[in-house]
Structure 1
Amino acid sequence: MFPLLRLYLPLALSFELMMLEGPSVQWAIGRLPEIPTNLAAWGLTMQLSLLIESPVIMLLATATALVKNTDTFLALRTFMLRLALWCTLLTAAIAFTPLLDFICLSLLGQPPPIVEASRLPLQLMLLWSGAIAWRRFHQGVLVRQGRTALVTYGTAIRLAAVILPALALVAWGKLSGAATAAVAIMVGVLAEALSASSFARAVIRTLPTAHEKGDVPLTQKAIAKFHTPLAMTTLLTLATGPLTSAAIARLPFATQTLAAAPVVFSALLLLRGWGFAVQEITVAQLKRGTMPEATLARFASIVGVLTTLGALLLSLTPLCGLYATALGVPTDLHHLIRQGVLWGALLPLIAALSSSVRGVLVARQHTGAIYKGMALGLSVQVLVLIAGIAARFPALPLASLAFTLGGIAETAFLMAARRLPSPAAEAETVLP
C-alpha cells in the first residue's frame, strides 16, 4: 500500500491545489463590490466554461492509457489540437454573440443581472479550453511514465499564478469580482499548460520510436472511438451544473442561493479531489501491471471514507462559518452553505469509489460502460431536481441530494459493469 500512496499523493495534491482555485477567486470576489451577484455570475461562467471544455478534460486519462511511443504521442497530440480548436470556437460563439442570452435567460432562467455580469468573464475565458487540453494531454504522458510529482509541481505553479493576479486586481479594484476571477484563472491555467509541456519534454524524448510486435498504428478514428465515451461522461457530469442552476432559479431566494452554491460546491470539490485522483492512479497501475484491482479498490474506499468524514466535520462544526467568513461571504449566506455541504457529505465517498471503478474500465478499454453509467446518473439527478422543484424543496439541499443520488446510481451501474467481460469489439483492441 505504501508504494501506491507514494504515487498517489503527488497526483492527489495536484488535484487539491487545482481545487483551491475556487476558494482563492471567491476570496477575491468577496473583497470587491456586489458580492452576491458576482459570486453567482462567476458560478455561471465556470459552469458554461466547464461544459464547453468537457470534451478535453478526459485527455489525461486517454493519454495515460494510449501514449506508449512517439507514434502514439503524435497521433494523440493531433487529436488534442483539433478538439481544442472546436471547443475554442464554441466558446467564442457563446461569449461574443446573443447566444449567451438565449442559453442563460431563455433556457436556464437565470436572473438578468447575473447573466450580464457573466458576459465579460466568459469572453476573458476564450482560451480556457485550449489551455486545459494542452495541459491534460501532457499530464497524461507524465502519469503514464510514473512522473506524478511533476504534475503536482505544475499545479502549484498554476495556483500561484492564480493568486498573484487576483491579489493585484483586488488592489486595483477596477474590474468586477467575476471578471477578476476570470483573469486570474486564465493566467493560472496558461501557466500550468506551459509548465506541463516543459516538464513532459524530457519524458517525451525517452519514448520508444518502434511499435511492439503485433501493434497496429493508432489512427484518429481509433482514438475517437476510445475517447468519445470518456468525453461524453464528462459532458454529462458537467451538464449537471447548468441544470442545477436552472432548478435553483425556479425556487425561492434564487439570487442568494445561486451566490452560495459556488461556495458549497467548491468546498465539496476540495474533498472530492482526493477521490478524483484515484482514477488516473488506477489506470496507470493496471496498465503497468504493478498492482491488483483489489488493492486499488481498498485504497479508494479508505480515501472515500476519510474525505466524507471531512465533509461532515465541516458542516457540523463552526468550521463552516469560519470558512465562509474567510472568503468574505456575507453572513446571511452562511446557513445556506452549511445546508448544502451537509446534504452533499456523501459526495467525496462516491467520487472515490466511482473513480476507482472507472479507472478499471478505462484500463480495460471498456469505456462505453462509463458513458452509460453517466447517462443513468444524470437521469436520476434530473428526476430528483424535477421532483424537488414540484415539492418546493429547499434549493441547496435539493442540489446536493440530486448530485448524491445520481452519483450513487452511476457508481452502482459501473460496479456491475466491471464484473462483466468487455465487448468482443473492445477485447480485440487495436489500442496500446
Structure 2
Amino acid sequence: MSSKNFNSNIVSYSELIAFFLPIALSLMIMMSTHSVVSSALARTTDAAIAIASYSVAKSVSNMFQSPCITLRRLCVARFKSKESFDKVLKLTGITLIISLIAMGVIVFTPLSKFVFLKLIGVSEELLPHTIRAMTILFFMPLLAAVRSIYQGVITVCRKTYLLTIATAVRAVVMFSLAAIITNTQFITGSIIGSVLMISGILTEAVFAFIFGKKYLKQLPQTSPDKDELDFGGLWLFFIPLVVAQFAMTWGQPSVNAGLARAVNPEVSLAAYQVGRSFAWIFIGMFGRVHQLILVFAKNKESWLKVRRFALVLGISQAIILMIIAVTPIGEWILTNIIGVDQELMVMSMSTIFSLSFVPFILSQTEIYAGLLIKNNKTPVITLGKFCNVATLITTVFILQSMVPNMGAAIGGWASVVGYAVELIILFGFSRNVEKQFISDPKKQVV
C-alpha cells in the first residue's frame, strides 16, 4: 500500500465513487437476496405463517449476531497493522464465544417458549416454526464474525470491488438454492429462509477469508500512528459500539411484538418482512457511509466533499424508493417477482412508502457517526442507538393501540421516527468535532 494513496489529505469525488460504489452495489445485491428469501417463503404452503415465523426468528438471532457484525466497524477504524489485526482477532474470539453461549441458551432450552410467547407475543401456532428457523440460524454469529474481520481487511486496503463480487456470488448461490427448494420441496416452511440465509453468509465468509488473508500481508507489521490502542483500549472502543448495535437489534423484535398484537397479526408480520426486505435494497448501503469518513475525511475539504456526496446519495435513493412505493412499479415487483398475494402486496406497499424517508435520514446519521467514531467518541453512538430504539418501541405501541388497522406500516413509521431522533442526537454531539474541520482547513482529525 502506498502512502500516497492511503494517507493523502486530498480526496476527489471520483475517489469517493470508486470506493463506495462497489460497497453500495454489494449491499444492494445482498439486500435483494433477502427478497429472495421472502419470495421462496411466499411460495410455500401457509406462506404468511412461514414468513412471519422466519421474520421473528431472524430478528431475535440478529441480537446475538450483532456483536460480530459490529466487528466490521472496529476493523475499518482500527486495522492499521498486523499487530492490530492480532488484537482484534483475539477480541473476536472472546466475543464469539459469548454470543454463541447466549444464543444457545435461547435456542436449546425451555427459555425459548418464554421469549417467543411471553416477550414477543407470537401465537402457539407460530412457535414451533419459529424455533426450528432459529435453530438453523444458530451458526450466524460464527459466519458473521469471519466475514466482518476479513471484509474489514479488504475495505482498509480499498479493494472494495471484491465485496461486490462476493455478494454477486452470494446472490447466485441463494437464487440457485431457492429455485431448487421451490421445485423439489425437499424442505418446507420457515426453515427455508434460515437455510438460504446461512448459505449466503457462508459464501461471503469463505470469499472474504480467502482474499482477506491475501491482503492482510500488505499491512505493516506495526503501526506508525501514535493513537494505536492496546488490548484494553480496544475493548473500551468496541464495547460502546456493541451496545449500540445490540440496542438496535431490539428494534425489530419490538416491531414484531407490536405487529403481533395488531389487527390480522400474521399478515401484518409477513407484509412488514416483505416490505422491509425490499426497501432495504435501497437503504442498506447507508449503514456503511461512516466508512467514507473513517477512510477519507481528514480535513475541511475532504469532510465537506464526503458530506455532500452522502447527502446527494441519500436524497436520490429516497426519491427512487418513493416512486416505487406510489406507482404500479412496486405492485408489479411484489406480485410478479416476489410473488406475494394481493393482501400482502397492499400492506407491503404501505411499509415501503413509510420507509422511503429512511435513506435521507440514515445518510446523515452515518456521516456524524463516522465523525464520532473517528474521534473515539463511541459512547455517543450508543446513546443515539438507545434513543432510536426507545423512540421506535414507544411509537410502535402508541400506533398499535391507536390505529391497529395500519398493520405493517406501523413498523415503517416507527422506524422513521426512531432514526430521526438518532440523527438529532448525533448531530448535536458532533458539532464540536465538526468545527475542527471548519475552523482549521489544514488540521487533520485523528
Is the TM-score greater than 0.5? Answer: yes
Distance 1:379 1:309 in 2: 28
Distance 1:200 1:152 in 2: 14
| Maintained 8 Å contact 1:268/1:347 | no
Which deviations, in whole Å up to 9, do the C-alpha atoms of 1:282-331 show, x marking residues without a partner?
A: 211136x7961111111111111011111211111012211211212121
Question: Aligned runs of 1:237-386 on 2, under 5 Å?
Answer: 237-286=248-297, 292-325=302-335, 326-386=337-397
| Maintained 8 Å contact 1:165/1:183 | no
2:223 maps to 1:225: no
Note the C-alpha offset of 1:215: 5.6
- Please give the secondary structure, in 1, of the residue aligned with 2:432: coil
**Aligned pair in 2 of structure 1 residues 214, 237: CA closer, same or farther (>3 Å)?**
closer
Sequence identity (%): 21
**Aligned pair in 2 of structure 1 residues 129, 260: CA closer, same or farther (>3 Å)?**
same
Q: Which amino acid aligns with 1:23?
A: S
Q: Which amino acid aligns with 1:319?
A: I
Q: Which amino acid aligns with 2:96?
A: A
Note the C-alpha offset of 1:211: 3.8
- State the TM-score, normalized to the length of structure 1: 0.93
Where does residue 140 of structure 1 map in the other structure? 152
Q: Which amino acid aligns with 1:275?
A: F
The more displaced of 125-134 and 202-211 is 202-211
Note the C-alpha offset of 1:16: 1.1
Distance 1:74 1:274 in 2: 28
Where does residue 10 of structure 2 map in the other structure? none
- Please give the secondary structure, in 1, of the residue aligned with 2:428: helix
The more displaced of 138-147 and 89-98 is 89-98
The more displaced of 111-120 and 259-268 is 111-120
Distance 2:212 2:59 in 1: 29
The more displaced of 264-273 and 93-102 is 93-102
- Please give the secondary structure, in 2, of the residue aligned with 1:58: helix
Q: Which amino acid aligns with 2:282?
A: L
Q: Which amino acid aligns with 2:325?
A: S
Distance 2:49 2:352 in 1: 21
| Maintained 8 Å contact 2:352/2:412 | yes
Which deviations, in whole Å up to 9, do the C-alpha atoms of 1:265-298 show, x marking residues without a partner?
A: 11121111232231222211136x7961111111
Note the C-alpha offset of 1:221: 2.0
Distance 1:52 1:290 in 2: 38
Distance 1:213 1:131 in 2: 31
| Maintained 8 Å contact 2:371/2:433 | no
| Maintained 8 Å contact 1:166/1:181 | no
Which deviations, in whole Å up to 9, do the C-alpha atoms of 1:128-165 show, x marking residues without a partner?
A: 11100110111111111211111222222222222222
Of the three residues 112, 116, 129, the one matched with 2:124 is 112
Note the C-alpha offset of 1:415: 0.9
Where does residue 210 of structure 1 map in the other structure? 222
Unaligned ranges ≥5, structure 1:
423-431
Distance 2:253 2:259 in 1: 10
Q: Which amino acid aligns with 1:147?
A: K
- Please give the secondary structure, in 2, of the residue aligned with 1:420: helix
| Maintained 8 Å contact 2:321/2:352 | yes
Which deviations, in whole Å up to 9, do the C-alpha atoms of 1:4-38 show, x marking residues without a partner?
A: 11111011111112111211111111222111100
Distance 2:251 2:225 in 1: 44
Note the C-alpha offset of 1:182: 1.1
Where does residue 106 of structure 2 map in the other structure? 94
Distance 1:321 1:122 in 2: 31
Distance 1:33 1:11 in 2: 36
Where does residue 38 of structure 1 map in the other structure? 50
| Maintained 8 Å contact 1:143/1:284 | no
| Maintained 8 Å contact 1:286/1:363 | no
Distance 1:174 1:286 in 2: 51
Note the C-alpha offset of 1:358: 1.0
Where does residue 4 of structure 1 map in the other structure? 16
What is the Cα-based RMSD across aligned positions, in Å? 1.8
Q: Which amino acid aligns with 2:238?
A: H
Where does residue 195 of structure 1 map in the other structure? 207
Distance 1:160 1:128 in 2: 20
Distance 1:105 1:400 in 2: 23
**Aligned pair in 2 of structure 1 residues 70, 291: CA closer, same or farther (>3 Å)?**
farther
2:132 maps to 1:126: no
Distance 1:328 1:314 in 2: 16
2:95 maps to 1:77: no
Of the three residues 126, 146, 153, the one matched with 2:165 is 153
Distance 1:343 1:374 in 2: 20
**Aligned pair in 2 of structure 1 residues 207, 251: CA closer, same or farther (>3 Å)?**
same
Number of matched residues? Answer: 421
Q: Which amino acid aligns with 1:365?
A: N
| Maintained 8 Å contact 2:96/2:142 | yes
Distance 1:96 1:124 in 2: 11
Q: Which amino acid aligns with 1:229?
A: P
Distance 2:225 2:280 in 1: 43
